[in-house]
Chains A and B, each alone.
Chain A
Amino acid sequence: MSSVTSKIQLTNLFIYLLAFTSGFSIMCVELLAGRILAPFFGSSVHIWGSIITVFMLSLSIGYLLGGKLSTRSVSLTRYGMIFIVAGITLLPIVTSSQSLMEIIFLAIEDSRYGSLLASTVLFFIPTIILGMLSPYSVRLLVKDSNESGQVAGKLYFVSTLGSAIGTIVTSFYFVMWFDINTIVLSVSLILTLLGLITIIVNKVTTIVATVNHTEVKHA
């Protein structure tokens, strides 16, 4: 029995770690967004207006979708899948942001709407996916409704702490040490890797659990 609780605690800890990483990734990318857009749309105040609008909007949609997704056959495997998709959808920022921004720059003269469209094209989808993780994590962690508020509180704490640390580490150090593409690519790789680990760990524990279960039955 005690080994089961400790296993559950370990899984929960892992979920919190994942939530921390998603919070970290969101703000790391948001901070870099200003740098990515500047060569084409400048650094006027409205550039940040565009970026923050797009991030807030996509997070809000992500929360909604993540909550919805968590109502049907919730599993760690699906949770891991969301991470992998988030990692993959970040890739166009590295591979095609230049050509995409060039097209938008040519099509739209007003840098307000240009930057709004560019941030939408580059950041809308990955941020929606990353936003889906929070409500899904709550669903995975909550075991009875009494503790749901506390779990949600803890989760917001962990993921927002991740955001804070993602912001400061990126702006103070990462931009000094690495190219923007290297940072975004690393975030993408880490998210994908964590997603894969989640799926594998889940597979292994289910197999072990089934084996244990059958052993107990046979005994």
Chain B
Amino acid sequence: MLNCSIKLTLLVTTLLLIITLQNATAKVVHSERSLYRNIIVEDKGDLRCLKFNVKTTKTRQSCLYKSQPQQLVFNYTKQLLTALLVNPQPARILIIGLGGGTMSNTLHQLFPHSYIDNVEIDESVIKVARQYFGFLENSQIKTYSQDGRVFVKRALLKKQAYDWIILDAFNGDYIPEHLMTAEFLEEINTLLSPEGILTANTFSSSKLYGYESATYKKIFGDFYQVTNANNNNRIILAQKDGFTIANLIKDDQSMVSNMKLSKKLANIGVDNQSLYLNIKFTGDYQDWNDDSVILTDQFSPANLLNLESD
């Protein structure tokens, strides 16, 4: 009898182990080679991820929980929301670099009345976002299959303006070098509405760091940045024509009163107060050399610089 119950327990534990293991191993749901990269959609239990390259660890991915698609999975996507601490009600949003479209979906949920333009160079990524990540498009949410720089230049010609521009076009493998230059940032600066915000998801390691930081400072003056020690990305938070030092602190207080937003953020798995952690103002704390060369359309070896460790 005792023997029998031991056997039964063994059987159950083995079964449980198999189930957990199966959950833990990733299953490739979709993979394709687009004009620009390999696209892989992977399921790991409840987690569905979009990957652009299998081999590199640097690769950025876009993930969602299938059971709770509105929860933001990654730190960096949450950190992008620091823009809301400065501008809690963006009416017109531009996202450059679509990924799985999770950012667009989340922002639509947060701000149902805001207009969102998504720009993605790779047509296949747009298809995958629609098919596997429930990427939502409607009369307010538009997608443009276009190079980000070209879109920005055309938008300027049409005299458009955005309250919030999210630059998320750097997936770690190949950097579009023309989206890193002073001239491009100047175009972004012009495209921002008064007090508009730019958040850029970009690099924190390699020799590129100093060059990139100096370029942002040249255009926007001092900016905020959110870094994560165990991550090689950082979020740059810049305001049209530059921040004054008090900006975030002032808005911090208005945010506390803005309980509605913090409740909204809690719904998508973001703790309002935690957004303030790891955020630094470059005016107080600058960790690159002042004599760093800036990147321009004439000189932008971003990919080569990214190969060299600092």
Contact = CB atoms under 8 A, between A and B. Distances in A.
B32 interface: no
Interface string B151-168: 001100100000000000
A4 interface: no
B301 interface: yes
B304 A175 contact: yes
Interface in A84-124: 105-106, 109, 111
A175 B178 CA distance: 13
12 contacts: A38-B177, A39-B297, A41-B147, A43-B149, A44-B147, A109-B154, A172-B304, A175-B300, A175-B301, A176-B301, A180-B297, A181-B298
Given A105-B153, A111-B150, A42 B121 contact: yes
A43 B301 contact: no
Given A42-B146, A45-B36, A180-B297, 17 more contacts: A38-B149, A38-B297, A39-B184, A40-B153, A42-B148, A43-B147, A43-B176, A43-B178, A44-B121, A45-B35, A105-B153, A109-B154, A111-B146, A175-B299, A175-B300, A176-B301, A180-B299
Going nearest first, the 8 A-B pairs with the smallest beta carbon separation are A42-B147, A38-B178, A179-B298, A42-B150, A176-B301, A175-B301, A39-B297, A45-B35
Interface string B279-293: 000000000000000
Contacts of A39: 149, 178, 181, 183-184, 297
Nearest to B35: A45
Contacts of B121: 42-44
Q: Which of B121, B147, B154, B184 has the most CB of A within 10 A?
A: B147
Interface of A: 35, 38-45, 105-106, 109, 111, 172, 175-176, 178-181
Contacts, number: 58
Contacts of A106: 157
A178 B299 CA distance: 7
Interface of B: 35-36, 121, 146-150, 153-154, 157, 176-178, 181, 183-184, 296-301, 304-305
A43 to B, nearest CB: 6
Q: Is the interface of A mostly helix, strand, loop or mixed?
A: helix
B177 to A, nearest CB: 7
A172 B307 CA distance: 12
Contacts of A43: 121, 147, 149, 176-178
A181 B297 CA distance: 10
Nearest to A38: B178
B117 to A, nearest CB: 16
B101 to A, nearest CB: 20
A179 B299 contact: yes
A181 B153 CA distance: 22
Contacts of A178: 299
A40 B151 CA distance: 10
B77 to A, nearest CB: 25
A179 B178 CA distance: 14
A39 B146 CA distance: 13
Contact of A40 (B150, B177, B299, B301): B150
B308 to A, nearest CB: 10
